[in-house]
Amino acid sequence: MTAVWALAALWFALALVASLASNWLRIPAALSEIIVGMAASMVFGATIGPDALGANEPWIEVFAGIGAVLLTFLAGAEIDPHVFRRKWKEAAAVGLASFLLPSLGCAAAGHYLLGWKLMPSILAGIALAATSFAVIYTVMMEFGLNRTDFGKTILAACFVTDLGTVVTLGLVFAPFTGKTLIFAASLAAAFVGLPWITRHLFRRYGERPSELEAKFLLFCLLGMGALAIWAGTEAVLPAYVIGVALAGSVGRDHLLIRRLRTVTIGLLTPFYFTRVGCLVSIPAVIAAPAGVLFFLLAEAIVKIGSVYPVAKFYGSTHKEAMYTTLLMSSGLTFGTITSLFGLTHGIIEKGQYSTLVAAIIGTAIIPTVIANSFFLPRHRLPKTAAVHPHAGEEGAPAPAAASAAAQPSATHT
């Protein structure tokens, strides 16, 4: 057991370094953990051995898997149902435009121009089309846009895109059998029944030291995750659907969401994102950088060509439409989940995985930097954010309401 405890301490040391780097560089913690994982894998692999970090240890895979499930649930639970009902046409149009054409375009580019086989190309298209709630939500919190209808509409569109990602991933790569029908029926029943059950159960037994709420949610998420894996699909699919179903109840319980974030982000997701980085082969990326650059360009071109006209159609100015388009081009969370799914299921090989994740990391950085530098719609900012554009960041002045809202700004969700 000594080796297990030492390995656990090492992984949390890496998570601590990533958190400090995230604060210093003002980047999402998820991105920082991936980069730290890549660097640690290269350093430890060169000095100690390729298995020094134990990225394929069963207990690390379990922690990482549960982290991905809870993270996906929180992403779904963050959706504002009221804004989605008011702006569903715009959000659905932008979200579908952000997924359909980019996934097809990037898949075609990988297959016909990079020479990848059909199934790896399709998986690459799905991964590159995904948006990152981690990146977009962090940007929204930084400028206060998450409190505006403009920002909430973008977050709702992000939900549509990511829902398309997880559903397409399950439909394309999961074998359709009797197990699939059982899983689909169970998921539909959970989507319809869980809001009622959760509301009444929490009202009667919630807010007690036993933390029944967290235990019940973990039971539902892990139980449906086990059923999803049994059916041949991915555990994040039911987690996202359950999160959306409970957005109107659990999503409004800020104290419960904060407790779940503490467990998810403090304990579990460092294993997931650091492991994502550990599995990237830096030599493979250095040896073939053209693939990374190619995917970056293909994703940017197709996203602009599909999202920008839709945003303009719904009345956005040029600056607003470009800002929306660039944020919807930011990938990270679901892109890396899709990539890791492809690697662990033998759909893509290690070099393709490294190229894909490196490109996804690029999409998490480049579009958001350009968006905030050149296309930030300042007239959409709340007055407090306009005065203090870094409200909620460490050391920046902010009113109490903005400071409270900024708590999740460094999260992965």
User: In order of start, what are the domains of the chain with their CATH numbers?
Assistant: 58-410 (1.20.1530.20)
- Residue 338: HSE in the Cβ half-sphere, 13 Å Cα cutoff: 35
Which tokens sit at 151?
A: 């920002």
Q: Note the pLDDT of residue 384.
A: 58
Place of tokens 């197709």: 302
Which tokens sit at 165?
A: 């990602």
> What is the chain's length?
413
Q: Which of 80, 17, 148, 137 is nearest to 410 (CA)?
A: 137
Q: Note the pLDDT of residue 236.
A: 82
* 373 exposure class (CB count in 10 Å sphere: 0-12, 13-18, 19+): exposed
Give every residue of the chain whose pLDDT is below 70, as ranges.
134, 138, 383-413
| Whether the Cβ atoms of residue 85 and residue 277 lie closer than 8 Å to each other | no
Distance from chain centroid for Cα 108: 24
Place of tokens 């790896």: 120
User: How many other C-beta atoms lie within 10 A of the C-beta of residue 207?
Assistant: 12
Place of tokens 């569109």: 157
Q: Note the pLDDT of residue 86.
A: 83
* 85 exposure class (CB count in 10 Å sphere: 0-12, 13-18, 19+): exposed
| Whether the Cβ atoms of residue 246 and residue 213 lie closer than 8 Å to each other | no
| Whether the Cβ atoms of residue 247 and residue 76 lie closer than 8 Å to each other | yes
Q: For 60-66, which contacts have Cβ atoms below 8 Å and span 24 or more sequence positions? A: 60/7, 60/11, 60/271, 60/275, 61/275, 63/267, 63/268, 63/271, 63/272, 64/268, 64/271, 64/272, 64/275, 65/225, 65/235, 65/272, 66/222, 66/268
Q: Structure pTM? A: 0.76
Q: Note the pLDDT of residue 396.
A: 39
